[in-house]
Structure 1
Amino acid sequence: MASSPDRPPASCIDCLAWGVLNGRRCAACTLWRHNKHRHQEDVCTGCGRTELIGKGYCRLCWNQARAEARASGEPGVRAIASNFLTQVGAFHQLFFAGMQISKGATTTPERRYDRRGAPRKPPPAPAHRPRGRWIQTKLLDVGRDFTRFDEDTNADLGNPWLAWGIHLAHQIGEAHGWRRGTRYDVRRGLIIVLSFHAAGDVVRYSELFPAMRALEISVERVAEVLTAMGVFLDDRTASFENWLERKLDGLTDGIRQPAEAWLRTMREGGPRTKPRDPATVWNHMSHLRSTLLTWSQRYDHLREVTGDDVLAALDTLTGSRRANLLVSLRSLFAFAKKTGKVFRDPTRGIRVGQHPYRLAQRLDQDDVDRATEAATTPAARLVLMLAAVHAARTGAIRALLLDDVDLGNRRLTIAGRTRPIDEFSHQILTEWLGYRRTRWPNTANPHLLINQMSAHGTGPVSTIDFAKKKLRGQAVTLERLRVDRQLEEALASGPDPLHLAAVFGLDPKTAIRYAENARALLVTMVEEQDSAGRDEPKGPRPI
Structure 2
Amino acid sequence: MALRAEADGEWLANPSLARSRQLSLIVSGPGMPQRLAAAQRLRKPSLRKASQTRDRAKWCQPRREPTERDDPRICPPAPPGQLTLFSPRRDLRLAMARRILHRLPEGYDKALPLVHAYAAERRYSRPWKSQCQMMIQLALAVRDADGRDLVAVESLEDLQYYSRQVREILQHAGLLDVSPAHARPLAGSAPARRLTPVGRSCADCLTWFPAATAVYCRGCLKWRRTKIHIVGACGRCGRGPLPLSDDGHSRCRACTAHVAAFGERHDGEATIQLWLGVLPRGAAQPNHQAPEEISSAPHDTRSISEHLVDPDQVELFPVRRDWSAVAHWPVEQMPGLTPAAQLLADELAARAREQSWSTYPARKAIHTLSTVLGWTGADVPVHESDIVALMTADSARYSARRACQFLESRGLLVPDPELRRDVHEQAITAMLERLPQGFATELAVWVEVERGHGHRSRRRKRSFCSIRRYLSEIMPVLREWAERVESLKQITTDDVKAAIAARKGNAARSIHIELRNVFRALRHERVIFRDPTRGLTFPAISTVPAVVGSDRLRGLIDHTDGAFARLVIALVAVHALPTCDLRRLLLDDLDLARGRLIVRRPGRVHTVWLDTLTHQLAGQWLAERHRRWPASTNPHLLINQQTAFHTQHPPIGVSMPQRVFATHGLAVGQVRQDRILDEAHHSADPLHLMRLFGISDSTAMRYVTAAHPERTSALPR
- Who is 1:151 aligned against? 331
> Equivalent residue for 1:511?
700
With a CA cutoff of 8 Å and minimum separation of 6, indicate the structure with the bigger relative contact order. Answer: 1
Partner of 1:461: 652
Q: CA deviation at 1:509?
A: 1.6
* CA contact 1:393–1:479 (8 Å) conserved in 2: yes
TM-superposition CA deviations, 1:431-477 (whole Å, max 9, x none): 22222222333322222212222222232211343522651682x31
Residue pair 1:401, 1:448 contacting (<8 A) in 2 also: yes
Q: Secondary structure at the match of 1:294?
A: helix
CA–CA separation in structure 2 for the residues paired with 1:411 and 1:238: 34
TM-aligned CA deviation for residue 221 of structure 1: 0.6
User: What is the distance in 1 between the residues matched to 2:343 and 2:524?
Assistant: 51
Match of 1:356 among 533, 541, 561: 541
Counterpart residue identity of residue 511, structure 1: A
Partner of 1:434: 623
**C-alpha separation between the residues in 2 aligned to 1:435 and 1:266?**
42
Query: Aligned partners of 1:241, 1:516: CA distance in 2, in Å?
Result: 40
Question: Structure 2 counterpart of 1:189, which letter?
Answer: T
**Where does residue 221 of structure 1 map in the other structure?**
402
1:292–1:158 CA distance, 2 compared to 1 (3 A): closer
- Secondary structure of 2:526's counterpart equals coil
> 2:204 corresponds to which residue?
none
Q: Which moved more, 1:337-346 or 1:388-397?
A: 337-346
Query: Post-superposition shift, 1:364?
Result: 0.6
Q: 1:302 aligns with which of 475, 478, 488?
A: 488
Structure 2 residue 438 is matched with structure 1 residue 258 = no
Q: For 1:379-458, what aligned pairs fall within 5 Å after superposition?
A: 379-415=564-600, 416-457=605-646, 458=649
1:256-288 Cα shifts (integer Å, max 9, x gaps)? 431243235536855555652333223322332
Q: How far apart, in 2, do the equivalents of 1:306 and 1:498 lie? A: 46
Which one has the largest radius of gyration?
A: 2
1:317 Cα shift? 3.3
What residue is the counterpart of 2:532 in the other structure?
346
1:209 to 380, 384, 391: 391
Match of 1:481 among 660, 671, 675: 671
Identify the residue that residue 314 of structure 2 maps to in structure 1: 135
Q: Distance in 2 between matches of 1:269 and 1:212?
A: 41
Give the structure 1 partner of residue 414 of structure 2.
231
Moved more, 478-487 or 183-192: 183-192
| Secondary structure in structure 2 of the residue aligned to 1:444 | coil
- What is the CA distance between 1:498 and its match in structure 2? 1.3
CA gap of 1:168–1:352, structure 2 versus 1, over 3 A, is farther
Which residue type is aligned with residue 546 of structure 2? Answer: Q
Supply the distance in 2 between the matched residues of 1:467 and 1:445 (Cα, whole angstroms): 21
- Quick one: distance in 2 between partners of 1:318 and 1:115? 60
Q: Measure, in 2, the Cα distance between the counterparts of 1:268 and 1:374.
A: 47
* CA pair 200-488 structure 1, distance change in 2 beyond 3 A: closer
Contact 1:412 1:418 in 2 (8 A): yes
Q: What secondary structure sits across from 1:412 in the alignment?
A: strand
Conservation of the 8 A alpha-carbon contact between 1:400 and 1:449? yes
Distance in 2 (alpha carbons) for counterparts of 1:442 and 1:177 = 6
Q: CA offsets, 1:146-170, max 9 Å, x none?
A: 524443453433264x267448748
Separation in structure 2 between the aligned mates of residue 403 and residue 382 of structure 1, nearest angstrom: 17
Runs of 5+ consecutive residues of structure 2 not aligned to the other structure: 1-179, 182-253, 264-280, 282-290, 299-308, 713-717
CA deviations 1:121-177 (Å, max 9, x no partner) are 9xxxxxxxx9942325379654123524443453433264x2674487489779x94
Q: Which secondary structure does the structure 1 equivalent of 2:598 belong to?
A: strand
Alignment partner of 1:322 is 2:511: no
C-alpha displacement of 1:393? 0.8
Deviation at 1:420, TM superposition (A): 1.8
Give per-residue Cα distances to partners, 1:313-348, cap 9 Å, x unaligned.
Answer: 333333322221111111111121122221111212
The one-letter amino acid of 2:674's match is D
Query: Residues 373 and 138 of structure 1: is their aligned pair in 2 closer, same or farther, counting only changes over 3 Å?
Result: same
Does the C-alpha gap of structure 1 residues 287 and 211 become closer, same or farther in structure 2, counting only changes over 3 Å?
A: closer
What's the CA shift string for 1:91-128, capped at 9, x where partnerless?
xxxxxxxxxx9xxxxxxxxxxxx999x9xx9xxxxxxx
Please state whether the residue corresponding to 2:594 is helix, strand or coil.
Answer: coil
Aligned counterpart, 2:219: none
1: distance between equivalents of 2:503 and 2:628?
A: 51
Work out which of the residue numbers 255, 271, 284 in structure 1 matches 2:470.
284
Provide the residue aligned with 1:537 in structure 2: none
What is the letter of the counterpart of residue 151 of structure 1? V
- CA-CA distance at 1:424 after TM superposition: 0.9
Kept in 2: contact 1:491–1:522 (CA 8 A): no
| Partner Cα separation in structure 2 for residue 483 and residue 311 of structure 1 | 33
Could you tell me which residue of structure 2 aligns to residue 195 of structure 1?
Answer: 374
Aligned to 1:530: none
Change in Cα spacing, 1:308 to 1:189, as seen in structure 2 (3 Å) is closer
The aligned amino acid for 1:224 is Q
Amino acid at match of 2:443: A
Q: 1:147 to 1:370 in 2, by over 3 A?
A: farther
Q: What are the Cα deviations for residues 23-81 of structure 1, in whole angstroms up to 9, with x where unaligned?
A: xxxxxxxxxxx998998889xxxxxxxxxxxxxxxx9xxxxxxxxxxxxxxxxxxxxxx
Contact 1:212/1:219, CA 8 A, preserved across alignment: no
CA contact 2:661–2:668 (8 Å) conserved in 1: no
Q: Which residue of 1 aligns with 2:127?
A: none
**Compared with structure 1, are the counterparts of its residues 520 and 326 closer, same or farther at alpha carbon in structure 2 (3 Å cutoff)?**
same
What is the percent sequence identity of the aligned residues? 26
| Aligned counterparts of 2:576 and 2:679: Cα–Cα separation in 1 | 10
Q: Residue 297 of structure 1: CA displacement?
A: 3.5
SS in 2 for 1:258: helix
SS at 1:418 equivalent: strand
Q: CA deviation at 1:178?
A: 5.5
1:94-173 map, 5 Å:
132-135=311-314, 137=316, 141-145=320-324, 146-152=326-332, 154-158=334-338, 160=340, 162=341, 165-166=344-345, 169=348
Mapped to 1, the partners of 2:401 and 2:565 lie a distance apart of 26
Residue in structure 1 matched with residue 216 of structure 2 by the alignment: none
Shift of the 367–221 alpha-carbon distance from structure 1 to 2, 3 Å rule, reads: same
1:501 has 2:667 as partner: no
Contact 2:391 2:400 in 1 (8 A): yes
Contact 1:333 1:345 in 2 (8 A): yes
Correspondence for 1:77: none
TM superposition score normalised by structure 2: 0.49
What CA deviation, in whole Å up to 9, does each residue of 1:496-535 have, x standing for no partner?
1111111111112212222222222889xxxxxxxxxxxx
Structure 1 outlier segments of 4+, above 6 Å = 34-42, 170-174
Q: 1:168, 1:225 within 8 Å by CA — same for their partners in 2?
A: no
- The aligned amino acid for 1:364 is G
The AA in structure 2 aligned to 1:376 is D
In structure 2, how many angstroms separate the alpha carbons of the residues matched to 1:136 and 1:159? 25
Show the counterpart of 2:102: none
Distance 1:318 1:463 in 2: 28
> What's the secondary structure of 2:708's corresponding residue?
helix
1:365 aligned partner: 550
Q: For residues 479 and 689 of structure 2, what CA distance do their matches in structure 1 show?
A: 45
- Distance verdict in 2 for CA 1:433–1:327, change over 3 Å: same
Structure 2 equivalent of residue 378 of structure 1: 563
Inter-partner Cα distance in structure 2 for 1:140 and 1:398: 40
Q: Match for 1:504: what amino acid?
A: F
* Aligned-CA RMSD value: 4.2
Aligned equivalents of 1:323 and 1:289: distance in 2?
A: 15
